Amino acid sequence: MSDPWLGDHRDHVRPEWIDYNGHMNVAYYVLAFDRATDVLFDRLGLGMAHRKATNQGFFVVEAHVTYGRELLEGDSLRFEAWVVEAGERKLRYFLTMFHAEKGYRAATIEFLGLNVDLSTRRATPFPPQLRRGLDGAVERDRARGLPSEIGRAVGQPRAARAEPA
């Protein structure tokens, strides 16, 4: 089942993404997630059109990646996304990467970022209409159920995980 935010977005593991262990290098997981984020942001109204219309962009200030299973050259990737939290200037979202054919979860990432005025390079509030859309996205994704990994800290035991704010 494809995620409604990402539709049919797919990617694949390229030869240059393979490390000396013969699997996808850790850095390229983040690159693949970043490409999926571009699709998510276009659907949320945060993509290039937002930048051109407002001279605002989105800067990631924190990310947490988990690596579940390795991926090999040529493997096809599928992604799901959740919009977890939207504030006046901030957005927190979570993506899961799956092996598209075998169906296993390969990795997850949680991002926290800020809407930034590109002329001052300072955080700035989202435009009101965009903020309403982001709030709606949060409500929609909470209703469909949030993954248990959201809010997890490095090395945090499963039982100690807190619920998302």
5, two tokens:
């935010």
> If we measure between CA atoms, which residue out of 157, 160, 6 comes closest to residue 83?
6
pLDDT digit string, tens, across residues 38-81: 999 999 999 999 999 999 999 999 999 999 999 999 999 999 99
pLDDT digit string, tens, across residues 94-120: 999 999 999 999 999 999 999 999 999
Mean pLDDT of the chain: 93
Confidence at residue 79, expressed as pLDDT on a 0 to 100 scale = 97
Is the Cβ–Cβ distance between 94 and 110 less than 8 Å? yes
Residue 35's H or E segment, with its range, is helix 26-44
CA–CA gap between residue 99 and residue 116 (Å, rounded): 34
Tokens 């599928």 locate to 78
CATH superfamily of 10-147: Hotdog Thioesterase (3.10.129.10)
Q: Is the pTM of this model over 0.95?
A: no
What's the N-to-C CA distance of the chain in angstroms? 27
CA–CA gap between residue 72 and residue 41 (Å, rounded): 27
Q: What are the residues facing 12 on neighbouring strands?
A: 76
The amino acid sitting at 23 is: H
Domain boundaries, the chain: 10-147
Confidence at residue 155, expressed as pLDDT on a 0 to 100 scale = 73
Confidence at residue 51, expressed as pLDDT on a 0 to 100 scale = 96
CA–CA gap between residue 41 and residue 39 (Å, rounded): 5
